[in-house]
Amino acid sequence: MARRIIIIGANAAGVEAASAARKKDRTAEITLITQEKTAGYSRCGLPFVIGGQIPSFHDLIVYSPAYFQMLKLNLRNETKATAINTKEKAVTVVDKAGATEVLPYDSLVIATGADSFMPPIKGREKPGILSLRGIEDGEKIDAAVKAGAKSAVIMGAGLIGLEAGVALIERGLTVTVVEMLPQILPQLLDADMAKLVQEHLEEKGMRILISKGVEEFLGEDKVTAIMAGGEKIEADLFISAFGVRANTKLAVDAGIPLGETRAIKTNARMETDVKDVYAVGDCAEAPNIITHRPTCAQLGTIAVRQGKVAGINAGGDYAQFTGILTSAVTRLFEIEAGSTGISETSAARNRIEVVTGTISSKTKADYYPTAKPIKVKLIVEKESQRIIGAQIVGGEEVTQRINAISFAIQKQMTVRELAKADTAYAPPLCETWEPMVLAAEMVLMKLR
């Protein structure tokens, strides 16, 4: 009898799991269940459709219906999984017509993702608060802009909030970003590096209010203003970017344990505490490579890696997930920002004594006309002298430097080894002294 694999969720993690399972088992019956109309699209691209860099939301579809047909994957759109019975090994689903069906499985992959989070703010039940989590959310924001919205308030200064803010400014709106914490991009950067990004955004016309929480949503029939830090801010468009929370209801109802992060607990095979049930992506936790503590980083790159591991195991083979470094990058107007490993703030929280080195340099030879500024911050564990984190802010060439340091961390490179790196040079491409090497030398000076 063919192996029956059910995957709940059909975006980054879910589709990757299905693809990996199919490669390992050519005869398996693989079913993907998703509540959304569209499967296999990139959530990360949503702000760039709103900003106009990508022509349409349809362009974000990475896996067309033909892909699912080619791999013989049974895709069930607009279908909701309502219950998991781990004893009977079955999933109850309801389709868009309201018909209920019970689907048996041999292996189950939970890729239910995360939902937009709304804090308990007075007036939050009023209509007019939008989020940016899926294609339909993006279409609502785009429609509001086309309908004549002139101003927007974005609540939250994380990656999605700022990318959405940039997109709306590019569409001609006046944008105010409200952030409760004392800095922007708190998950990506330390305060000293975040300040550089904030200054750039403010130069481009974005109003940013830090250390100001949203106290109330104001308006009669719908939200027309917010109170934040005692100030009334009116706008035509209100976008909630407070963050997301792992969607774990199905797992909890089925008795599948959660972990420290309140996401689904998994082992190295991405298997939950229930045999033959796996969890991947934004709803699952896995260990951080440096702290070894459970982490739920909610990034697309992590989702696909976890999906691949779970799919291989669900398909009858064996694979392990190596852990999370939380490598991430973004581009906001003309500045790029990225990080990998843990921040100085996170190191302090985990009681890791560190030494940091920060250097300001150029992306090309200083005399080359198109050279742009770049700042590199290295975070090194004092005792072992191993590199455990990096943050880079600059006009270009951030991604590949972040990737290079990610490799260095995974190979447990010391700061002394990085300082001796043999790097390339050409005036139109880079400085004689690679900025990462200079940052390493700054750390060594402090260590001496």
The catalytic residue positions are: 44
For residue 286, report the phi and psi dihedrals to the nearest 5 degrees: -150, 160
- By DSSP bridging, strand 107-110 and strand 4-8 are parallel
Buried b (16+ CB within 10 A) or exposed e, 281-293: bbbbbbbbbbbee
CA separation for the pair 23, 29 (Å, rounded): 12
Q: Are 38 and 135 in contact (CB under 8 A)?
A: yes
State whether residue 339 is helix, strand or coil.
strand
Instruction: Count Cα atoms within 13 angstroms, Cβ side, for 89.
Output: 14
What is the spatial distance between Cα 230 and Cα 330, in angstroms, rounded to a whole number?
Answer: 31
Contact 207/183 with Cβ under 8 angstroms?
no
The vertex-353 CA angle with 262 and 381, nearest 5°, equals: 95
User: DSSP for 163-230?
Assistant: HHHHHHHHTT-EEEEE-SSSSSSTTT--HHHHHHHHHHHHHTT-EEE-S--EEEEE-SSS--EEEETT
Please give the Cα distance from 286 to 280 (Å, whole number): 9
With vertex at residue 48, the alpha carbon angle to CA 44 and CA 49, rounded to the nearest 5 degrees, is: 105
For residue 58, the tally of other CB atoms under 10 A from its CB is 11
* Residue written as token pair 């260590």: 447
| Secondary structure class of 407 (helix, strand, coil) | helix
- Tokens 């993006």 sit on residue: 138
Q: What are phi and psi of 301, to 5 degrees?
A: -65, -40
Helix, strand, coil % over all residues of the chain, rounded to 5: 30, 30, 40
The candidate with the shortest Cα–Cα distance to 123, out of 218, 13, 263, is: 218
Residue type, 321: F
